[in-house]
Structure 1
Amino acid sequence: MNRDGLGGWKVAAYEAFGDLRLRPALDLLARVPELPAGALVDLGCGSGAAASALRARFPGRRLIGVDRASEMLAKAAPLLDEAIEADIADWGPAAAALIFSNAALHWLPDHATLIPALFAALAPGGVLAVQMPGQLDRPSHRTMIGAAAAIRPDLFCGWKPFPGPLPLPDYAGLLPRAGLDLWETEYLQRLGPADGGGHPVRAFVSATGARPILALLDAAERARFEAGWDEALGAAYPVGPDGCCWFPFRRFFFVARSIGSG
Structure 2
Amino acid sequence: MCRHLAYLGPEEPLGRILTEPPHSLFRQSWAPRRQRYGTVNADGFGVGWYTSGDPVPARYRRAGPIWADLSFSDLGRVVRSGAVLAAVRDATLAGADAEAAAAPFAAGRWLFSHNGVIAGWPDSAAPLVSALPPVDLLSLQARTDSAFVWALVLHRLRSGDEPGEALGETVRQLALAAPASRLNLLLTDGTTIAATAWGDSLWYRTEPGRSTVVASEPYDDDPLWQEVPDRTALTASRAGVLLAPVDEPAPASPKEPCR
Task: Bin the TM-score by the shorter chain.
Answer: under 0.3
Structure 1 or 2: more strand by fraction: 2
TM-score, normalised relative to structure 2:
0.28
Structure with higher helix content = 1
Which of structures 1 and 2 has the bigger CA Rg?
1
